[in-house]
Amino acid sequence: MTEKKQIGIARALSYYNYFPYLYGFFNHLGIEIILSSPTTKKTLSDGSALVVTETCLPIKVYVGHIVELVNKGVKNIFVPSIQSVAHKIYNCSKIRGLPDLIRNVVKGDFKIIEATLDKSEKNQGLYEFLRQTVEPFGIKDFELIRAASKAGFVVQNNFRVMMQQGLSFDEALKYAKEGKVVINRKNNDEAQGAIHVALVAHGYNIYDKKASMDIFKKLSQMGVVVHNANQLTDEQLLGGLSCLNTELYWANQLEVTGCAGHYLKSDLIDGIITVTAFGCGPDSLMVEDIKRKSKNFQKPLLHLTIDEHTGEAGFVTRLEAFCDMLFRNKRAKITRYMDTGIDVNEKTVANIEGIVSLKK
Ligand code: SF4
C-alpha cells in the first residue's frame, strides 16, 4: 500500500448513480479520489480492444477508463462487485463480474480494490462491503466507517434532491460536492416548454456525453423538455413498475421500467425515448415489455440502441423525426382543444407555433 491514500474510480457505470456517496465516504476517510477523465474516442477504442466484440458499450467504456487510470500510474483502483442491491434484486452478470473481467484483461502495475455487495446473502451487506473497501488502506475502525458512510449519504441525498428538482447531472454533482443544495427556479420555468419527452435509460447510457452523443443537449436544441428517472422519487418509480404490472428482478429496472411506467401515465409527457446498449440482455427484455404495454397508453415511443459504431448523423435524424412528429401531434391536439373551447396555456401554444413554423 502506498503512503498516500489514493483510490482510482472509473467515470463509468455506477459512477452515474453512486459517485456522490463515494465522494462523501472517501473524503471523510482522507482517501483522495483520482477520477478518470470524461469518455473520449480513445477511451472507447482502448476498452473495445480488450474485450470481445459482443460486449455491451458501457462495459467497453468502463474497461477504457480503467486503462486510463492504470496509464496515469494510479496504484489502487476501485472495482466493486455489486451482486444484488436488495433481497433477490440482481445486477446483470457483467456488472457482477467486473473485478474478474478487469483482472483478466487489464495488465499493469495496479491493485484492484475489490469489495462485494450482495444483499441477497447473509453478511454481505453495505457495512461488510465498506469494510472490504477500506481494509487495504489499514482502516478498521467500525465507528469511523459508519461516520464516513453517513457523510456519503448526505452528499448522495443532496445530489438526489437537486436532480429531482431538474438540475443537470453536472450541476447537481458540483453543488453536492460543495456541500450545497441549490434549487434552480429557472429549470422549473423551462418546464413550460413545448414538448415533453421522458428519456428512459440507465444513467451511464445518457449522462456519458460521448456514449450518448450528448442526447440532453441535442433534445434541448430541438426545443424539448427532457424528464428522466432521476427526477422521480422511489415511490413514483415503484408506482411506475406496478402500473406496467411488472415484477422487480433487475437492480436497475426501476430507472428503466419504473420510469417508463410513471411517464406513460403522465399527461405532461408527449413521448418516450428509450436508449439501450446494443447487446444488453436485461434491457432488451425490459424494453420489449415497455413497448408491448405502452400500446395501452397511446404514447409514441422511440427506441434507440447505441454502440461504438453508432453514427451521430443517423442518431440525430431519428431524434429529429420523432420530435417533429411529437410537435405536429401536439399542435393538432391543441387546435382540437381550442376548437372545443378548452383553455390552453398561452405559452405552450406560442412555443408550438414558433417551433413548428421554424420547421416548415
Ligand atoms: S445492464 Fe446491460 S448495458 Fe448495463 S452493463 Fe449489463 S449488459 Fe451492459
Q: How many Å lie between the centroid of ligand 1 and the Cα of residue 344?
A: 42
So what's the pLDDT on residue 45?
Answer: 95
CA distance 226 to 228: 7
So what's the pLDDT on residue 358?
Answer: 45
**Grid coordinates in use for 191?**
418546464
Among 199, 206, 159, residue whose Cα is nearest residue 183: 159
Q: Count how many residues are written for the chain.
A: 360
Ligand 1, atom nearest to 202 Cα:
4
Ligand 1 probe mutation, 202, 275, 284, 285, most atoms within 8 A of CB: 202
So what's the pLDDT on residue 352?
Answer: 58
Q: How many Å lie between the centroid of ligand 1 and the Cα of residue 143?
A: 35
Ligand 1, atom nearest to 250 Cα:
1
So what's the pLDDT on residue 189?
Answer: 45
Q: How many Å lie between the centroid of ligand 1 and the Cα of residue 56?
A: 6
111-113 and 81-86 as β-strands: parallel, antiparallel, unpaired?
Answer: unpaired
Cell 431524434 -> residue: 319
Residue nearest to atom 6 of ligand 1 (CA): 92
Q: How many Å lie between the centroid of ligand 1 and the Cα of residue 89?
A: 15
Ligand 1 probe mutation, 55, 65, 95, 212, most atoms within 8 A of CB: 95
Q: How many Å lie between the centroid of ligand 1 and the Cα of residue 94?
A: 7
Backbone angles phi, psi at 196, to 5 degrees: -115, 125
Q: What parts of the chain have a pLDDT lower than 50?
A: 1-2, 188-189, 356-360
Ligand 1, atom nearest to 283 Cα:
2
Going from the C-alpha of 316 to that of each of 304, 310, 311, the distances in angstroms are 11, 11, 9
Q: How many Å lie between the centroid of ligand 1 and the Cα of residue 10?
A: 16
**Grid coordinates in use for 61?**
467504456
Neighbouring C-beta atoms of residue 138, cutoff 10 Å:
8
CA distance 263 to 232: 10
Among 234, 281, 285, 292, residue whose Cα is nearest residue 262: 234
Ligand 1 pocket, residues with Cβ under 6 angstroms = 56, 58-59, 92, 94-95, 202, 277, 280-283
Ligand 1, atom nearest to 93 Cα:
6
134 burial class (0-12, 13-18, 19+ CB within 10 angstroms)? buried
Tens-place pLDDT, residues 113-123: 999 999 999 88
Counting Cα atoms < 13 Å in the Cβ hemisphere of 153 gives 7
Domains and CATH numbers, the chain: 6-158 (3.40.50), 191-359 (3.40.50.11900)
Q: How many Å lie between the centroid of ligand 1 and the Cα of residue 277?
A: 7
CA distance 25 to 129: 13
Cell 477504457 -> residue: 64
Q: How many Å lie between the centroid of ligand 1 and the Cα of residue 286?
A: 12
- CB contact set of 186 (below 8 Å; sequence gap of 6+): none
CA distance 327 to 193: 11
